Amino acid sequence: MHTFPYLVVLLCIPLFGAGLVGLVGLRAPQAARVLALAATALELVFAVALLVAFKTHVGTFQFESTHTWMAPLGISFSLGVDGISLFLVLLTALIVPIVILGTSVGEKATGYLAWLLLLQGASVASFVSLDLMLFFFAFELTLVPSYFLIVKYGHERRAYAATKFFVMTFLGSAFLLVGILVLAFQHQNQTGVLTFSLAALQHTTLSSGLAVWLSLAFLVAFGVKAPIFPLHTWSPTTYREAPEGGSMVLSAILAKLGTYGILRFNLTLFPHASKTLAPLVLTLAAIGVLYGAITASGQHDMKRLIAYSSLAQVGFIILGTFSFSPQGLTGAVTMMVNHGIITAAFFMLIGWIAQRRGSFDTAVLKGLQGPVPVLAGVFTVTMLASIGLPGLNGFVGEFLVLIGTFTTHRWWAVVATTGVVVAAMYLLWNYQQVFHGKADAETETMHDLTTKERLTIAPLLALIVLLGVYPKFMLDRIEPSVHRELAGITAAAPATAIQTHHVTFTSPVGGAR
Amino acid sequence: MNAYLPVFILMIVGILFAGLSFVASGLLAPRKKPTAAKLAPYECGIVPEREPPQRFPVRFYLVAMIFIVFDIEIVFMYPFAVVFRQLALFGFLEVAAFSVVLFAALLYLVSNGALSWGPAVILTRGMPSRTSESTITRISATKSTDGQAA
Amino acid sequence: MSIPLSWFIILATLLFGIGAFGVLVRRNVLVMFMCVELMLNAANLALVAFARSLNDVGGETTVFFVLVVAAAEVVVGLGIVVAIFRRRHSAVADELSEMGG
Amino acid sequence: MTSLLATVAIPDLLVFLLGALLCLVGAVSILTVKNPVHAALSLVMTLFGIAVLFIELQADFLAAVQIIVYAGAIVVLFLFVIMFLGVDREEDLAVEPIVGQRPLAAVLITALMASIVALGLVGHFEVGPATQTGMLHGGAGNVADLGRSVFTTYLFAFEATAGLLIIAVVGAVVLARRNNPDDHVAESQVEELA
Amino acid sequence: MNHLALPTVSYAALAPILFLLLGGVALMVLSALSRRPLAAGTVTGYSVLIGFGALISALAEYGHVNGAGPSSTVASAIAVDGFSAAIAVTVSVVVILASLLSHGYLRRMQIDAPAYHVLALTSASGAIIMAAANDLVVLFLGLEILSIALYVLAALNRRSAKSEEAALKYFILGGFSSAIFLFGIAFTYGATGSTNLQVITRTLGEGVAAKPGLLLAGLGLLLVGFFFKVAAVPFHLWTPDVYEGAPTPVTGFMAAAAKVGGFAALLRVLLTAMPQLSTNWTPVVYSVAVATLIGGAVLMVVQRDAKRMLAYSSINHAGFLLVGIVAATSAGISADLFYLFTYSVTALATFGIVTMLAGPRDDDAGIDRLSGLARRHPAIGAAMAILLLAQAGVPFTTGFIAKFSVIEAVVGHGSIPLAIIAMASAAVAVFAYLRLVATLYRTEDIATVDLGYDDSLTDGPAAFAIGLSVVVTIFFGIFPAALLDFGRTAVAHLLP
C-alpha cells in the first residue's frame, strides 16, 4: 500500500530540526528559536494530519512500514501506530512547541532548543517503533537530551538531580536490554530466526518462570521511567531541579514512555506473567496513589507537590493497565494523555509564577488571586481537572480506571478511590493557600499573564475542557486497540513450561505452576 | 663431562688468581684511608661547586649498541654456518635478508655519529665548556621555554 | 641416570620468584632490570630442561630468541634510564649554576 | 640422600649442585646488595650458574651463547650504564616502587611459586609427547639441530628478531639524544663533551 | 642427511607485516642516508602510504582467504585466516590515522619524525604478528616488537619529565609481564611438547598432553601475562600513569594498537589453541572481566585528568572485550573484532583531539583544559562530543553496536549476570562521559589556564583524520551491517 509515510516524516522533522537548530544557533540564537518553533509547528501539523488519516474503529496497527536494518543483528526498522500510541504521538507533538513558547532559559538557548527537538524525535520514535531494539534505541536516546536539559538549564542542585535521574534510568534499561535479548534468543531457539519485531516475539512460548523474570526486567525499566512507587525516588528531585520546560517534557512525555512501555510490551509479550504479577503491581500502584497523595499534601514546594501528585496519577494509570478490563485500559490510555496535558499546564503556570515572584514555596506565595486573576483562573481550571472534576478531561480517565479496576480487582479500586479524595483535599488546600488570603507587598506588584502567555496556555486549557466534555472523540480511536490487546491477552495459550538448553529460570512469584 | 675438566681447572686457576691479587693489593696498598678531600676532583684548589656533566660521552653508549647488535648476529651465524650446506641457497637468502637489515641498523647508527671519533668540535674552537654567559643564556632559554627548571 | 626434570623446574621457579620479588620490592631501577633478566633466565632454564626431557629442539631454539629479546629490552630500558638521568642531571646543574651565578 | 646417590650419577649431581648454588647465591645477592655494581656482578654469577646447568643439560652451545651474550654483552652494558650515570652511589636513581609493600609482594610471590610447584607435583612433572618439533642430539651435536630448527621451523621468528634489533638501535639513538630541545646551549655542551 | 624440509613462504599472506616492517627499515635507511633531516610532511605521507599498502594487502588477503579458506605459512608459524586478515585491516587503519594525527604534534614538539614513524610502523607490525602468530614463540616476538617500540615512543616527549617516567614505568611492568608470559610459554611447551598452536590444540584434543599439572601452570602464567598487556583489573596499575605521561598521540596509538594486538593474541590462544581447557580458563576470564568492567567504570568517574579518564575508559572497554571472550562463541569473536575496530578508531580520534589541546609541553591534560571547548571551537567540540558519546555507547554510534553485539553474544552464551554487570558498568561510565561532554559545552567559567594550543587547532592532517573517524563512527553506527558481516566472515574462516 502506498500511503504517505507519516511516521518517518514525524521522526525526521525533529531530528533534522535539532541538527539544524544546533548549527544555526552557533551564529544566530534568535533564528534558531524561530527555526525550532517552525520545526515543532510542522511536526504538529503532520501529527494532526496523521490523526485525520487514522482510521477510526480499527484496532490493528496502521501506517506500518518495515525496512531491513542491521540485518546481521536481527534489528529491523519497523514503525506503526495504533489507537494507543496515536494520542501519545499527538501529545508529544503538542507539548514541545508549547514548551518552547512558554518557557525561556535566557540568551544561550540554542542547546536548549536542540535538545528539546532531539527529545521530541526520540520520544515519537519510541512511541511508534514496532521493533524492540528500535524502541530500545529511542528509549535510550531520550536519556542524553534529558540529562543535558537538566544539568545545563536546571536549578541549584541540578547536577545531583541529573545524575540521580540518569543513573537510575540507565540501570533500569540495562535490565530491559538483557530482557529483550533473552526473549529474542528464546525466539531464535524455537524458530531459528533472530528478530526483535514485536509481532514475531509475541508468539514466543516461554516457561512461566522465565516469562515472569523477563516481565520483571521490563517492569523495572519502565517502572523507573514512569515512575512506579518504589522506583520513583529520582522523580521529585528531578522535577524540582529541572528547568520548567524540562519538567514539562519529563512529566508529560517521558513518564508516558514508561506507562506506554508496560501497556505495549509487558502486556503483549508476557500476558500470563503479567496476570501472575498483577497483584504485586496493583498493590505497588495503589501504594503509589496513596503515598503520592499523602506526601504531596506535606510539600511546601509547588514543583515537588506536582511531582508527587503525578506519582499518584501514574499509579492510577498502572492500576488501569493491570486491571485487564476494557474500561481500565482505555482509562489508562486516556489518562496518559490527560495527565500529560494537565501537568504540562501546571509546570508552566508554576514557572510563570516563579518568574514573577521568584519562589516555588507555598509559604512565600500568598493571595495571588487579587493581583493575577487570570493566572489564578487558569490555575483553578487545571487544578479542578487534575482533581477529576466531571466535565474536565481529568475525570474521564480516572473514572474509567476506577470502573475497570472495580470490576476486576475491587479492593485496590477502593484504596485508589481514597487516594482520589486525598488528592482533592491537598490540591484544594494548596490552592487556597497560594491564591486566597492576603497578598504581601511584593505579590501585589505581580503582573498578570501577558497576551503571549495567554495564547500559549490557551491550547492546553481548550483541550482540558474539550476532552472533558467530548471524550468520545478519543475513546473511539483508543477502544479498538485496547480490545485487540485484551483479546491477545485472553487468547494466549496457557503457559507451557519450556526448558531452554542453556538457561533455566524459576519464578520469583511461585510462577512455575 | 670429562670434556669440561680443563674448564674447571681454568676456573679454579682464575679464582685463585683473583683471590691472590686481592690479598696482594691488601698487603701492598698504603694503609691510610683516603680522606674526602683526596677523593674530590681537583679543580685548581677550588671546592667544586657542581659535579662534572658526564663521566663518558653518550656516544659510547651507541658503540655498545653496535656491539650488541653484532653480537646477536654472530650468535645466529654460528648455527647457520654449521648447517648451511643443507639449507642451501634458501638458507643463504634468509641470512642475507637478516644481515641486510642489520646492516641498515649499522648505517643508521653511523649516520648518527656512533663511530665519529676524533677531537670534539668545540674544543678545537677553544671555547670553554661553561662560561657565565653560556649559563645565563641557557637559564634564560630554559626559563622562557620550560617553566620550572628543576 | 641424569638429574630429574623436577629439580630443574623447581630451581627455575625459585629463580623466577626471586626475580619477581626483586622487581616488586627493589627501588633501584637498574636492579629491577636485572631482576627482570633473572626472570627471563629462569624461563630459559625451564625451556632447556623441558627440551632435554622432551628430547625436542624447540625449547632450546626458543632460548635463542629470548636472548635477542633480552638484549633489545636491555638496550631500550637502559636508554630510558640514561635519558631520565641526564634530564635530572642537567636540572641539578642548572640550579647549581644559578646559585653560582 | 642415599636414594639420590642410587638414582643420580655423582658428577651430574655435583655439577647440578654447583650450578644451582651459583644461581641461587647470585639471585639472592642481587636482591640484597645495596650497590648496583655488586648486583650486576651477582647477576653474572647467576648467569654463569645457569650456563653450568645448560652444560649439565647437554646444551653446550647455549651455555656458550649464554656467557657470550649475557655475561659478555648485556651485563657489560649494565655496568657501562652504571658507571656512565654514576649510580654506583647507592639508590641515586631511586623511583617510587611500582607495587606496594614487601610483605604483600612476598606473600604473592610465595603463593605463585608454591602453586606452580604444587601443580607440577600434581602432574608428577609429566611432559607432553616427545620430539614434535625436531630431534635433539646431546652435547656438541645440537648446534646442527638448532641451526636446522632456527632456519626452518622458526624461520619467521628468526626474521622477526631483525625487527627487534631495528627497534633497539633506533630507540637507543633517539633516547641518547639531549633531553630538552629548547635547551640549545646545552646541545652545544653535549657536542663539546662528545 | 642432506634432505631438509625447507618451509614454503607465501609472501602475499605476509604482505601486511612485510609492508610495515620493511617500510620501517626503508624509512630508517632513508633518514640515515639523507644529508639534512627529512621533512615531517614527507615522513608522514610516507607512512600513510605504507599504511595504505598494508591495508590493501590485508584486504587482498581477506578476499583470498574467503576463497581458499584458512591455511598457514612459513612452516605453520603464521596463520593465514580471516581473523588475522581482519586484525591486519584494523591495525593498518590505526597506522594511517595515527600517523596523520601525530603529524602536527611532531613538528610542534620538535620530535625526530623519522625515528617516531620507524618505531610506530615496526610496533604496528608487531601487533599484526601477534594476531597472525600460529606459534607461541612468534607470538612472544610480536608482543615484544609491539611493546619495546612502545616503550621508546612513550619516552619521546622530551619537554616533560613525566614522559620518561611513564616510559620507565611502562618498561618495567612490561618487561615483568613479558617474563611471566615467557615462563608460561615454557610450561605450556613442556606440557604439550610444542610451541605451535595447532600442534598444541591437537595434543590437547588427543589427550596425549601431560596431566593438567604443568599445563595449568602454563595457562595461568600466560593469562597473567596477557592480562597485564591488555590492562585488565587488577593488572592495570601501570595504565593511568603511562597514558598520562606518554606523548598524547603515542597514548592514542598505544590505546589502539596494544589493545588490538593483545586481544587478538588472547582470542587466538584461548579460543583456537586451548578451547579444550575452557572449563579452566572461563572462570578466570569471567571474574577478571567483572573486575575490569566495574573497576574501569568506577575509577573513571573520579578522574580529573582527561588522559587518565580515557585510560580508565579503555580499561572498561577491555572489560567488554573480555566479556566477548567469555562468550566463547564465533558470535563472541566477531563481536570482539567489531569492538576492536570501532574502539580503535574512536579512541585514536579522541586522543587526537586531546593532542590538539595539549599545551606547548604536553604535560597537562586536566579536564579544565576542555572546559568550554565547544564554545570556542564548535567543530572540534562537536567532534569530541560525538566521539565521547560513541565510547559511551549511545545509540546510532558504533559504540552502541559494539557493546550491543558483545552483550548479545554473551546473553546467547547464557551468562546473564555478566551481561547485566556489563550494562551496569556502562551506565556508570556513560555518566562520566556525559559529564565530560557537559564540560565541553560549559558556558560559565571557561578555563582560565593558559591554553597555548590555538595554533595546534589548525592542524590539517589531524583535523582530517578526526573528521574521518567521526564519519566512520556515525556511519557504521547507523549502518553497521557491512562491518558486522566483515567480522563474521572473518571468524567463519578461522584457522582451527
Q: What pLDDT does A65 receive? A: 84
Q: E106-109 — which CB contacts under 8 Å span 24+ positions?
A: E106/E40, E106/E44, E107/E40, E108/E360, E108/E455, E108/E456, E109/D181, E109/E157, E109/E158, E109/E159, E109/E247, E109/E362
Q: What pLDDT does D108 receive? A: 86
In a domain, E1, yes or no: no
In a domain, E5, yes or no: no
Q: What pLDDT does C95 receive? A: 36
Residue with cell 654460528: B78
In a domain, B43, yes or no: no
Q: What pLDDT does B146 receive? A: 46
Mean per-residue pLDDT for D36-48?
A: 91
Q: What pLDDT does C98 receive? A: 33
Residues E484, A167: C-beta atoms closer than 8 Å? no
Distance, CA of E29 to CA of E18 (rounded, Å): 16
Going by DSSP bridges, is the β-strand pair A62-68/E71-73 parallel, antiparallel, or unpaired? unpaired
Chosen for mutation from D50, D159, D167, D177 (greatest number of chain E CBs closer than 10 Å) is D167
Q: Are residues B12 and B67 in the same domain?
A: no
Q: What pLDDT does A476 receive? A: 85
Cell numbers for D135, please give them.
Answer: 630431534
Chosen for mutation from C7, C29, C31, C89 (greatest number of chain D CBs closer than 10 Å) is C31
Could you say which of B62, B83, B142 has the minimum Cβ distance to residue D148? Answer: B83
Flag whether residue E394 sits within 8 Å of chain A, measured between CB atoms. Answer: yes
Distance, CA of A219 to CA of A318 (rounded, Å): 11
Cell numbers for B84, please give them.
Answer: 648451511
In a domain, B49, yes or no: no
Task: Tell me the ipTM for this assembly.
Answer: 0.82
Most confident range (mean pLDDT) of A319-323, A484-488, B27-31, E373-377 is A319-323
Per domain, the residue ranges of chain A are 6-54+70-491
pLDDT tens, position by position, C47-84: 999 999 888 889 999 998 999 899 999 999 988 888 88
Chosen for mutation from D21, D83, D146, D151 (greatest number of chain B CBs closer than 10 Å) is D151
pLDDT tens, position by position, A403-454: 888 888 888 888 888 888 887 888 888 888 788 877 777 777 777 888 888 8
Residues E405, A163: C-beta atoms closer than 8 Å? no
Under 8 Å between Cβ of E490 and E374: no
Q: Are residues B16 and B70 in the same domain?
A: no
Of B136 and A443, the one with more pLDDT: A443
Q: Check whether the bond before A227 is cis (ω within 30° of 0).
A: yes
Q: Are residues B127 and B92 in the same domain?
A: yes
Q: What pLDDT does A156 receive? A: 81
Flag whether residue B109 sits within 8 Å of chain D, measured between CB atoms. Answer: yes
Q: What pLDDT does C10 receive? A: 92
Cell numbers for E385, please give them.
Answer: 562530543
State CA E26 to chain mean position distance: 25
Chosen for mutation from C14, C31, C32, C36 (greatest number of chain E CBs closer than 10 Å) is C36
Flag whether residue E429 sits within 8 Å of chain A, measured between CB atoms. Answer: no
Band (pLDDT 50/70/90 cuts) for residue B123 is: very low
Band (pLDDT 50/70/90 cuts) for residue D190 is: very low
Distance, CA of A160 to CA of A157 (rounded, Å): 6
Cα Dmax for chain C: 75
Query: Which domains, and CATH codes, for chain C?
Result: 5-100 (1.10.287.3510)
Q: Are residues B136 and B91 in the same domain?
A: yes
CB contacts < 8 A, B to D, total: 151
Q: Name the domain count of chain E.
A: 1
Q: Are residues B80 and B131 in the same domain?
A: yes
Residues C101, B132: C-beta atoms closer than 8 Å? yes
Q: What pLDDT does D87 receive? A: 60
Instruction: Provide the chain D residues 71-100 that lie in CB contact (below 8 A) with chain E.
Output: 95, 98-99
Q: What pLDDT does B128 receive? A: 44
φ/ψ of E209, rounded to 5, equals -70, 165
Q: Name the domain count of chain B.
A: 2
Q: What pLDDT does B149 receive? A: 38
In a domain, E3, yes or no: no
Q: What pLDDT does B44 receive? A: 67
Low-confidence ranges of chain E (pLDDT < 50): 1-2
Q: E383 lies in which domain range?
A: 11-492
Does residue D42 have a pLDDT over 80?
Answer: yes
Q: What pLDDT does E452 receive? A: 55
Distance, CA of A152 to CA of A108 (rounded, Å): 11
In a domain, B137, yes or no: yes
3-state secondary structure of A92: helix
Q: What pLDDT does A485 receive? A: 83
Which residues of chain D make contact with E155, given a CB cutoff of 8 A?
A: 175
Under 8 Å between Cβ of B61 and D176: yes
In a domain, B46, yes or no: no
Does residue B120 have a pLDDT over 80?
Answer: no
In a domain, E304, yes or no: yes
Distance, CA of B62 to CA of B59 (rounded, Å): 5
Mean per-residue pLDDT for A371-394?
A: 86
Which residues of chain E make contact with B88, given a CB cutoff of 8 A?
A: 6
3-state secondary structure of D135: strand
φ/ψ of A197, rounded to 5, equals -75, 135
In a domain, E274, yes or no: yes
Angle, alpha carbons E464-E469-E472 (nearest 5°): 125
Mean per-residue pLDDT for B105-126?
A: 64
Q: What pLDDT does D101 receive? A: 63
Q: Are residues B63 and B20 in the same domain?
A: no
Residue B50 DSSP code? S
Under 8 Å between Cβ of E125 and E51: no
Distance, CA of A121 to CA of A42 (rounded, Å): 13
In a domain, E485, yes or no: yes
Query: Which domains, and CATH codes, for chain D?
Result: 1-92 (1.20.120.1200), 154-194 (no CATH)
Rounded to the nearest angstrom, the minimum Cα separation between C79 and chain D is: 6
**Out of A87-101, C11-25, D11-25, E366-380, which region has the weakest mean confidence (pLDDT)?**
E366-380
Closest by CA to A360, choosing from A413, A434, A282, A267, is A434
Which residues of chain E make contact with C66, given a CB cutoff of 8 A?
A: 182
Q: B9 lies in which domain range?
A: 1-31
Angle, alpha carbons B88-B93-B94 (nearest 5°): 100
In terms of C-beta density within 10 A (0-12 exposed, 13-18 middle, 19 or more buried), how is residue B150 classed?
Answer: exposed
Going by DSSP bridges, is the β-strand pair E78-80/E71-73 parallel, antiparallel, or unpaired? antiparallel
Under 8 Å between Cβ of E113 and E153: no
Residues A151, E438: C-beta atoms closer than 8 Å? yes
**Out of D53-67, D88-102, D125-139, which region has the weakest mean confidence (pLDDT)?**
D88-102
Residues D179, E6: C-beta atoms closer than 8 Å? no
Q: Are residues B140 and B82 in the same domain?
A: yes
Under 8 Å between Cβ of A340 and A256: yes
Rounded to the nearest angstrom, the minimum Cα separation between A122 and chain E is: 11
Flag whether residue B133 sits within 8 Å of chain D, measured between CB atoms. Answer: no
Task: Answer whether 0.90 is exceeded by the pTM.
Answer: no
Q: Are residues B146 and B103 in the same domain?
A: yes
Distance, CA of E293 to CA of E299 (rounded, Å): 10
Under 8 Å between Cβ of B117 and B57: no
Distance, CA of A38 to CA of E136 (rounded, Å): 64
